[in-house]
Amino acid sequence: MRGILMSSITNVIDVLERAQTGSIKGSLKIMNNSSGKSIPEVSVRYESDFDYIVFNNSLEPKSKDYVTEFSTVEYKVDVNPGSKSTTNALHIKIDCVLRTKIKQLYEDLMLNFDPANTDESVWAVINDYSDLLKKAKTERLSNEEEVGLVGEIIVLHNLMSNGHGQKALDYWKGPSGGLHDFVKEDTWEVEVKTSLNPNPVAKVHPIEQLEPISVPFHLVVVKIKSDKTKGTSLPEWIDLVNVKLTSAKNKKALIDLLLEAGYKDEHRSKYTRKFVFDEAQRYKIDKSTQTLCPINIDSKAKYVDIRWILRSSDYPMITCDPVFWSNPAI
Select the more confidently predicted residue: 315 or 308: 315
Residue 179 has pLDDT above 90, yes or no: no
Select the more confidently predicted residue: 291 or 221: 221
The dihedral region occupied by 22, where left means phi > 0, alpha psi between -120 and 50, and beta the remainder, is left
Report the pLDDT value the prediction gives residue 298, as an integer from 0 to 100: 78
Residue 24 has pLDDT above 70, yes or no: yes
Which positions ≥6 away from 253 have C-beta within 8 Å? 169
Q: Are strands 188-195 and 217-226 parallel, antiparallel or unpaired?
A: parallel
What are the phi and psi torsion angles at 257 (to 5°)? Answer: -65, -40
The three-state (H, E, C) secondary structure of 83-150, written as one string: CCCCCEEEEEEEEHHHCCCCHHHHHHHHHHCCCCCHHHHHHHHHHHCHHHHHHCCCCCCCHHHHHHHH
For 316, half-sphere exposure in the C-beta direction (CA atoms, 13 angstrom radius) is 5
Q: Is the peptide bond before 235 cis (omega within 30 degrees of 0)?
A: no
Give the pLDDT band (50/70/90) at residue 1.
Answer: very low
Report the range of poorest mean pLDDT among 10-19, 49-58, 278-287, 304-313.
Answer: 304-313
Report the range of poorest mean pLDDT among 20-24, 73-77, 182-186, 227-231.
Answer: 20-24
Report the pLDDT value the prediction gives residue 77, as an integer from 0 to 100: 96
Report the pLDDT value the prediction gives residue 247, as an integer from 0 to 100: 94
Q: Are strands 308-311 and 67-69 parallel, antiparallel or unpaired?
A: unpaired
| CA–CA distance, 208 with 325 (Å, rounded to integer) | 24
Enclosing H/E stretch for 151? helix 143-159
Report the pLDDT value the prediction gives residue 206, as an integer from 0 to 100: 82
Give Cα 162 distance to the centre of its chain: 26
Report the pLDDT value the prediction gives residue 70, as an integer from 0 to 100: 85
Give the pLDDT band (50/70/90) at residue 49.
Answer: confident
Residue 116 Cα distances to 57, 112, 120, 255, angstroms: 7, 12, 10, 41
Residue 275 contacts residue 238 (beta carbons within 8 Å): no
Q: Which amino acid is at 311?
A: R
- Helix 143-159 vs helix 234-242: crossing angle, to nearest 10: 20
| CA–CA distance, 154 with 156 (Å, rounded to integer) | 5
Residue 7 has pLDDT above 70, yes or no: no
Report pLDDT digits (tens) over 153-173.
999 999 999 999 999 999 999
Which residue in 172, 163, 180 sits closest to 258, CA to CA? 172
Report pLDDT digits (tens) over 193-234.
999 999 998 888 888 889 999 999 999 999 999 999 999 999
Residue 264 has pLDDT above 70, yes or no: yes
Select the more confidently predicted residue: 128 or 100: 128
Report the pLDDT value the prediction gives residue 48, as an integer from 0 to 100: 87
Residue 5 has pLDDT above 50, yes or no: no
Report the pLDDT value the prediction gives residue 3, as an integer from 0 to 100: 33
Report the pLDDT value the prediction gives residue 26, as an integer from 0 to 100: 85
Average per-residue pLDDT in the chain?
90
Query: What pTM value is reported for the model?
Result: 0.65
Select the more confidently predicted residue: 307 or 137: 307
Collapse the DSSP code of 274 into the 3-class scheme (helix H, G, I; strand E, B; otherwise coil) and give the result: strand
Report the pLDDT value the prediction gives residue 137, as an integer from 0 to 100: 62
Which residue in 128, 145, 3 sits closest to 70, CA to CA? 128
